[in-house]
């Protein structure tokens, strides 16, 4: 694994650290067209999806499972940049109270609504809390619903808390964002 690490971030003044922190804000995620996936399970599903992953950030001191090396190799095999982060820096960029040492940045996928969609569709409306939207995505997937149609942006679908609450199923469904015109 050590051969693949491109950089080591140990300072809170590092520009890359500052960029990661900026992605905690919705407006920055939107302007950069990037979001964050945190956690082993979430990143396991992300790497198997069609989304483009920019960088994987790791903090081995926080690893909790035995499969981290295998997951990191999957990122290496896709030639994704890997950066090791000092413990104090990782705790700052983490959304979680108990981080597990794995965070990645991925490109937001803006799926255009096709003329036809096969299979059932979930259309959540006016969901205010990111965790609730993530739970709906997770529950939908368990019922075999692979298409999510969002017609409002009360909650940013790419909020890391949506991804977390979905326990990674976010990366296993098709999410379509549509604009609704009111008369």
Domain with CATH 3.30.1330.30 in the chain: 2-107
CA distance 8 to 31: 26
More confident residue, 52 or 177: 52
More confident residue, 94 or 113: 94
In the sheet that 147-150 helps form, which strands lie side by side, from edge to edge?
121-122, 147-150, 174-177
Domain with CATH 3.40.1280.10 in the chain: 121-177
- The pLDDT of residue 183 is 56
Tell me the pLDDT tens digit for each residue of 99-133: 999 999 999 987 778 889 999 999 998 899 999 99
- The pLDDT of residue 182 is 59
- The pLDDT of residue 181 is 60
- The pLDDT of residue 115 is 87
Write down the pTM of the prediction: 0.90
What are the DSSP calls for 68-88, one per residue? HHHHHHHHHHTT-EEEEE-HH
pLDDT of 2 > 60? The answer is: no
pLDDT of 143 > 80? The answer is: yes
- Strands (DSSP E) contained in the chain are 5-9, 34-38, 53-58, 81-85, 102-107, 121-122, 147-150, 174-177
Superfamily of domain 2-107: Ribosomal protein L30/S12 (3.30.1330.30)
pLDDT of 10 > 90? The answer is: yes
Superfamily of domain 121-177: SPOUT methyltransferase, trefoil knot domain (3.40.1280.10)
Mean pLDDT for all residues in the chain: 92
């Amino acid at each position: 694994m050590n051969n693949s690490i491109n950089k080591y971030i140990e300072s809170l003044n590092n520009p890359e650290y500052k960029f990661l922190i900026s992605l905690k804000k919705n407006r920055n995620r939107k302007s950069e067209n990037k979001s964050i996936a945190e956690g082993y399970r979430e990143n396991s599903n992300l790497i198997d999806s069609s989304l483009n992953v920019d960088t994987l950030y790791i903090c081995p001191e926080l690893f909790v499972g035995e499969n981290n090396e295998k997951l990191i190799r999957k990122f290496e095999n896709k030639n994704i940049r890997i950066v090791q982060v000092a413990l104090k820096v990782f705790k700052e960029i983490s959304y979680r109270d108990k981080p597990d040492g794995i965070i990645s940045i991925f490109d937001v996928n803006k799926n255009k609504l096709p003329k036809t969609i096969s299979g059932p569709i979930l259309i959540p409306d006016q969901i205010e809390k990111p965790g609730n939207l993530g739970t709906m995505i997770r529950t939908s997937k368990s019922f075999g619903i692979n298409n999510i149609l969002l017609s409002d942006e009360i909650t940013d679908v790419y909020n890391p808390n949506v991804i977390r609450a979905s326990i990674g199923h976010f990366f296993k469904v098709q999410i379509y964002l549509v604009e609704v015109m009111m008369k």
